[in-house]
Amino acid sequence: MPTTETFWNQMGAYNEATFPVQIAMIVLAMALTYLVFAKPSNKTNNFMKAFLSFVFAWNGIVFFLIYANNPISTFLGAPLFIIVAILFAVDIFTKKIEFRLPDVTWQKYLTIFWILLVFLYPLIGFALGHFYPKTIMPMAPCPVTVFAITMVTAAIPRVDRKVYVALLPWALMGLPKCLGALDCYEDCILFVAGVYGLILLVKNWKIIGRRQRNG
């Protein structure tokens, strides 16, 4: 794991170099989230999958391999994010995932809550003393993982378990940060979102599998 200073310097360099791309991704994420939840259709589902595929590939290649130069990024972060990118792209054709708001009221509110936390990541970081450019933007690896976990959890049982399972290892990376690693307490959001997603995955594992088998 890099030192705290190295981590935030790398994050700052990445933000300064890619700021326009990140803003475009944030705006697109907001627009697609609205369309998927307010006007669900096969087209909006495919757009969201294509977007998630791009964002995970972007983070896997640009952030982990170019800016975050450390063994965890190279040998865990990059391969994991590229695998998730491929799985989302494949699902455009296999159509196992159908993004939507949950029918259950408490899950609906929790889904909205997690999505808001994703876009509030920089403000939460600001409150914790992290100022731009040394802050975590909403489409950086950790918040985008929260975003994806929230989206697939909301879609249960209309999800692909492979995508779901591939997202969870990175969420577990938030635990050391909850304990003070890298002075990045905002990533407690990542860990708790992972626990939330894992609980609902385990709870619905058989239902999801049955639906996948039945098409």
pLDDT digits (tens, 9 = 90+) for 128-143: 999 999 999 999 999 9
Averaged pLDDT, 22-46: 97
| Mean pLDDT across the chain | 96
Predicted TM-score (pTM) above 0.85: yes
Residue 171 has pLDDT above 80, yes or no: yes
**Which H, E and C letters describe the chain, residue by residue?**
CCCHHHHHHHHHHHHHHHHHHHHHHHHHHHHHHHHHHHCCCHHHHHHHHHHHHHHHHHHHHHHHHHHCCCHHHHHHHHHHHHHHHHHHHHHHHHCCCCCCCCCCHHHHHHHHHHHHHHHCHHHHHHHCCCCCCCCCCCCCHHHHHHHHHHHHHHHCCCCCHHHHHHHHHHHHCHHHHHCCHHHCHHHHHHHHHHHHHHHHHHHCHHHHHHHHHHC
